[in-house]
Amino acid sequence: MIAPRAFQATRGYATSAVKVPTVLFGIDGRYATALYTAAAKKQALEAVEADLKQVKRVVEKDAKLLNFLENPTINRVEKKAGVRQLLSAGKYNELTKNFFDVLAENGRLYDTVKVINSFDSLMAAHRGEIQVTITSAKELEAKDVNKIKSFLTKSSFIGPKETLVVSNKVNPSILGGLVVEVGDKTIDLSVSSKVNKLNALLKESI
């Protein structure tokens, strides 16, 4: 398998002079980092990001295409031809086209969505964005979301140059309260969590 480093070297994607905003692990992280580095050198980060978002939209809407990418019985030559046909339908950056060629050559097209998600993480870090997910038993009103956002902005969780990107997820099983995920940190203020702790204490006392 040709590693992402070889992808960088053979296609002029040297990593020098490019500061990667965050370290990602796993194969998808390595490929995403290689693409980020190449795009940064070419000053094409936003263009490549837009390309990948478009590819992801197409893949998620087309079950046959997703199966084509993930099917291990289809050989690499067919997959390379297929993904080239996909990209020929739009005005994609050459870096994007070359990158998908490499994924096809390395038999990694089944990681397409994972690589795109990893690239999204790099771009969010590049812009200083912190993903915040607020889970509640029922959908929150905008004023409540803004209060939580204001509190987090003033907290030690957020740096001075960081921006919050907040989403509200509904999960009735938490019964009430909130579960707030800030980056890789979790603040569990749910009723279900308190009930579970109470149950645990009762079991210990029996």
Residue-range domains of the chain with CATH: 4-125 (1.10.520.20), 128-205 (no CATH)
Q: Report residue 91: phi and psi, to 5°.
A: -90, 80
Inter-residue contact 76 to 104 (CB < 8 Å): yes
Instruction: Tell me which residue has tokens 């993904």.
Output: 83
Angle at 201 between CA 198 and CA 205, to 5 degrees: 140
What per-residue confidence (pLDDT) applies to 205?
A: 67
Q: What is the mean pLDDT of residues 50-73?
A: 92
pLDDT at 75 over 50: yes
What is the tens place of the pLDDT at every residue in 119-128?
999 999 899 8
Handedness of CA 132, 135, 139, 144 (dihedral sign): negative
Q: How would residue 14 be classed by pLDDT, with cut points 50, 70 and 90?
A: very low
For the chain, the distance separating the N- and C-terminal CA atoms, rounded to the nearest angstrom, is 58
**Exposure on the CB side of residue 139, measured as CA atoms within 13 A:** 2
What percentage of the chain reaches a pLDDT higher than 70?
A: 91
Give SS3 for 182: strand
